[in-house]
Chain A
């Protein structure tokens, strides 16, 4: 049982390049989340999903797109990377009950945009 895994662990992009971050969970959780964390800051929610085929915007969705084609995977896309998107990205999942269950986090993806 690997929990929540993220791919890649680290990536360097040039301004304008695109990339996709992959989050996978093997706990059969309904809910999945993408956060970003800037230096010295708490996490901010980018997008989230309450089930396969559904996504919704969080606090800071601009510049990002997401897809949840399979229950176990949640993809975060950057179509045209900007230096302001340099950050650490965390994915999380939680089971569906009343929404008041704990979130399980992945190890993070460190992204540097030059």
Chain B
């Protein structure tokens, strides 16, 4: 049970912002939201994570709604190399193991 819901696939034009939504309506108060991506055949790569406040780093921005039931990952200027599967996850808060539960993710296709 991934406990998050994402669209199966999305397209984005190169140079435009890519906005990837994620629903996590049952998230508990101390669970973080994590985003990873997996470029074809490679190991997953960490992008960003957050708890309540919006977060930004060199790769992306994370917008979390005030009720924390959903979030959006924003890639401000998508490039062809951003084509990947994007996973939104909640930290499995079980015994402090930091386990991540991967779902199916969103396949983002960036088109020229």
Contacts and interface: CB of A to CB of B under 8 A. Distances in A.
**Do the two chains bind?**
yes
B102 A43 contact: yes
A99 B30 CA distance: 12
Q: Which DSSP category, helix, strand, loop or mixed, fits chain B's interface?
A: loop
A42 B102 contact: yes
A45 interface: yes
A10 B50 CA distance: 36
A99 B98 contact: yes
Given A90-B44, A99-B91, A41 B98 contact: no
28 contacts: A42-B2, A42-B102, A43-B44, A44-B102, A45-B99, A45-B101, A48-B97, A48-B99, A50-B96, A58-B99, A59-B101, A90-B43, A98-B98, A99-B97, A99-B98, A100-B32, A100-B49, A100-B91, A102-B46, A103-B36, A103-B46, A103-B100, A104-B46, A105-B43, A105-B44, A107-B43, A108-B41, A108-B43
